[in-house]
């Protein structure tokens, strides 16, 4: 049951001092005002806004959409239960301890590296990025798409649950992929 929608005047909930969470729409308004928010229930859509930073230890129970924002980095200990979409942002790095339960979309970003021990529950999209290598212990629950990247090598302990997209990766020696990755690889 969504108490926010049942409340007779949802505006009264914004800034209410007796709770430590906010729903997506109210969290967006608070963040745009520069206020501290650490727990968001549901989806948080900040795409197209001028937001430049997020608070440390932010947890989003749904999807977090930051596409087409000027954000260049994410806070430490960010947890997103759903999808994290950073398409087309100037993001340059990802924080340690990043957890994404759904898809992580980094298409058309200038990101050059990923943190060690990154775990993505769904798909990881790195299409059209300048990434040349992947970190140790990278775990991707479903698909890893590296199309149109200058990727040079894959770590021996890479885990991909379903599909590995390697179209137009001219610097990668696909003939020498580890056996367990060959079955998942699409060339």
Structure tokens at 32: 């745009």
At 111 the pLDDT is 95
The 3-state DSSP class for residue 30 equals helix
Provide the pLDDT confidence category of residue 156 given band limits of 50, 70 and 90.
confident
R_g over Cα of the chain: 18
CA separation, residue 33 to residues 14, 50, 64 (Å): 12, 11, 18
The 3-state DSSP class for residue 104 equals strand
Between 33-37, 63-67, 121-125, the lowest mean confidence (pLDDT) is in 33-37
Other Cβ atoms less than 10 A from the Cβ of 168: the count is 12
Tell me the average pLDDT of the chain: 87
The per-residue pLDDT for range 112-139, each reduced to its tens digit, is 999 987 889 999 999 999 999 999 889 9
At 185 the pLDDT is 80
At 4 the pLDDT is 47
More confident residue, 4 or 135: 135
Structure tokens at 8: 């007779």
More confident residue, 9 or 35: 35
pTM summary value = 0.86
């Amino acid at each position: 049951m969504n108490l926010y929608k049942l409340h007779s005047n949802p505006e009264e909930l914004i800034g209410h001092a007796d709770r430590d969470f906010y729903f997506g729409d109210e969290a967006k308004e608070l963040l745009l005002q520069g206020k501290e928010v650490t727990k968001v229930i549901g989806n948080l859509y900040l795409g197209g806004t001028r937001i430049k930073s997020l608070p440390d230890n932010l947890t989003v129970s749904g999807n977090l959409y930051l596409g087409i924002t000027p954000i260049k980095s994410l806070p430490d200990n960010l947890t997103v239960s759903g999808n994290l979409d950073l398409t087309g942002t100037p993001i340059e790095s990802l924080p340690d301890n990043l957890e994404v339960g759904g898809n992580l979309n980094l298409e058309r970003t200038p990101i050059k590296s990923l943190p060690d021990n990154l775990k993505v529950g769904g798909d990881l999209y790195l299409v059209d990025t300048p990434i040349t290598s992947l970190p140790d212990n990278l775990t991707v629950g479903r698909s890893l798409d590296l199309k149109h990247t200058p990727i040079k090598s894959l770590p021996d302990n890479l885990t991909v649950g379903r599909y590995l997209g390697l179209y137009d990766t001219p610097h990668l020696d696909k003939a020498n992929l580890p056996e367990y990755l060959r079955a998942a690889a699409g060339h």
